[in-house]
Structures are given as structure tokens and as C-alpha cells.
Amino acid sequence: MKHLTVMFLLSLGSYPIEDFRLDILGLLVPAPSLILALILITLTHYALVMRRSDVLSSVDPKLVVLSVLLGGMLTMSTIGVGSVSRCDAATFDNLKWIPYIIGFPLLAAIFSRLSERAMWSALLVACMITVILGYYRFVFLEGGTQAEHLLGYWGIRYTSATRNSDVLYPLVAAILSAGLIGNTSSQRTRAILTITASLSITAVVLTQSRSGWIALLVAAVSMYWTTFRPLHSKKGGIVWALLAIVVPLVIVASLPTQYSDLLLSRAKTILGAEQEVGETSNVERIERYTSVVTVMANNPLGIGVGNFSCAIGEINREVKHAENAYLTLTMEGGWVAGVSFALILLYLYQRLRRLAQNCHASGGQVGGISTTLLVALAAYFLFNDEVNSLFVWSLLSVVGSVIPRRQIVTANS
């Protein structure tokens, strides 16, 4: 099962790439997505059939309740509203990602059978696959214009199931690289991780993604507080980590003028300092949030998945979410769904911090990477709706796997 788990994590790196397709019954299916699906099905079957008692004993019942509640409310609101909605946009097709939510506690239990270092390493390699491909297309401008590559697309084509998760790959790679730097004493390993961290941080900056930039800043603060501060005696790790931050700054400062101007303009837009035509994203977000809150107040049971545009009166616009996962889930699934999602994140955070405090001798190793990854995702969700992504729920499963794994270690000791 460990080999299958590693294969699944590695396959996440090729998941958003849909250039290579297979003709199956007249449908052109992206090969990476098909391979990942087959591995996931095999892994789940093996875990429930061959290792059922071990895996199920590691499943967190509270996470099961919250995930079923979230998935159930989204499903019921869609079934109940879709048939009578004025635009009838909510359909069963919008619910194909609900199994990701309901199944993530089980996937976390499966990941807990893998060592932390093996899990982090496999996930890091997977993310770097996407980052390297992104750099290749960024340099050769393959698949789009230069502006598109600097506006968050990264030249990586992705399916509707991944949406904007292209920026998440370098973000996660940066977090994993920095966290592993703080938890290793090998200078050669630290040098390699510094390179991957530098490439990943630079990649996040080049996407010009508001959510990516903010999540990266939040991750930096969390990583220092949870990993490098407890391990202050390992000064070498801090030096390497600082180097990983300085190198991207040098790279970005060395970019041609057209690149630096675009980055500066984007930063001004995020800060609200740019008032030119077309640079009013903050104003649009506030207006959209206001509309969403109004609809939420009038629909405590939700409007159904896929009815966002109709509900806020933007039928003629290609707007499918509130650019905020918390608001979108609450609006589509109802108040209970929104609270359930928030409780999932809060519960994971509370358990991780408790583990880190109880294992103070190795606090950075126990909770640093997982906690940083979780708070970065929480910050990312404030400016993006990515809950329909298998990659996102796999990340939450990875974070949640630390809890049962440490319980197993404690019991064996």
C-alpha cells in the first residue's frame, strides 16, 4: 500500500496537464487524470479490502461527520434547488467532486501509513514536476501569449476539476522545501532544497496571483513561527532558508522591464493603489461579496452548486464563484455547509498545534510543515474558490494524516 500511496502523490504532479489525451468511447480523456483515477481507485480498494482494520481504525470520526455534513448539504441544496431554479444551472454534473470531500478523511488515514518524510518528499517531487513544466512553457511562451503567462495561467493547461490550482503547485513546493530545510542536517540536501524553494517562490511571484502572493506571505510567517523558531539552534537551516528567499528577489529584480512593470502594476492593483480603467478588482470583489452576503442571508439552506451567477444577477458574466471559498460554499450549500468547512480547517489546526506542543522536543518536525500548509490554504481560500479540486482535498488529507500517524507512534512507544 505504501508504494501505491507514493505513486498517487507523484501522479498529482501530472494531474493538471491535459495535452496528452486518450480516445475512450468517443471521449477525449486526459491521460494523467485517468492514470491518477486508476491509482486512487486501486489504493482505496486495497486499503478497504486488504488493510481494512488498520486503515479504518485511523479514520478520524469527527472529520467524517464534518465532511459528510459538508458534502451532504451541498448535494441536498443542489437537488432541492436545481429543479426549480430560475436558470436551472444546478445539476448532478456539478456534484462530481463531492466524493473528494466525503472521502478525504479516509485518504488521510491511508496517508498516515506512510512515513512523514516519504510523504513530503513524494509530494514535493510531484509539485516540482508541474513547476518545471511551467517554467518551460513560460520561457518558450508555448500555448499562449506572454501576458497570459504572467497572469496566473503558467502555460499549464488544466481541467475544470483543477481550475486555478496551477499557483498552488509552486506554493506547496515552496512550503515543503523550506520546511524540510529546517528539519535536515545534511548540507547537500539543504542546498538542493534551497534551489527548489527558490524556483518555487519565484514561480509564485510570476503567476501574479493575489491568492498565491498572500498565501506565500502567510506561509512564511507560519514557517518561521512553527519550524525555524523552535529549531533556533539549527542556525544553518535558517541561513539556507534566508538564501531561498533572497535568490527569488534577485531573480525578479533582474527581469526585463516589461515583466517588472507587470508585477508592479499587479501589486498596486492588489493594494488598491491602481485606479486605471480595468484595474478595479478590489472594488469588484467588495461589490460581489456584498451581493453574496445578501443571498446568503435570504437562503439559509443554500441555492445549489452552480447557481451562483443567477443568484447574484450576473447571468451574462462568466462568474461561477465569489472568489472566496468560504462565501461560495455557504451560499451554495447553506449556512451549515459554510460552518462545516470552517470547522474542518479549525479542527485540523487545533489538533496539529496540540501535537506540536505535546511533542515539543521535535515540534518543528511534528507540526511545522503541516500547520504552515494548512494556514496557507486557509489564506488562499479567502481569495479563490478551489474546493472542487482533487489536489486541494489531497493536500488536506496529507495535512490530516499527521494526526493519526502521531497517535500510532505514541501508542507503539
**pLDDT tens for each residue of 328-375:** 899 889 999 999 999 999 999 988 887 766 654 444 455 778 889 999
Under the banding of pLDDT at 50, 70 and 90, the label for residue 241 is: low
Tens of pLDDT, residues 257-316: 766 676 777 677 666 655 554 445 677 777 778 888 888 888 888 888 878 777 777 544
Q: Which of the pair, 124 or 271, is modelled with greater confidence? A: 124
What is the reported pLDDT for 375?
A: 94
CA distances from 189 to 130, 144, 224, 247 (A): 21, 36, 19, 17
Range of the domain at 162: 2-412
Cell, residue 119: 510523504
pTM to 2 decimals? 0.84
The arithmetic mean of pLDDT across residues 153-175, rounded, is: 63
| Separation between Cα atoms, residue 275 and residue 254, nearest integer Å | 27
What is the reported pLDDT for 30?
A: 64
What is the reported pLDDT for 363?
A: 41
The arithmetic mean of pLDDT across residues 132-152, rounded, is: 60
Q: To which residue does cell 535536515 refer? A: 184
Structural domain total, the chain: 1
What is the reported pLDDT for 136?
A: 74
What is the reported pLDDT for 280?
A: 56
Tens of pLDDT, residues 94-118: 788 888 899 999 999 888 888 888 8
Under the banding of pLDDT at 50, 70 and 90, the label for residue 321 is: low
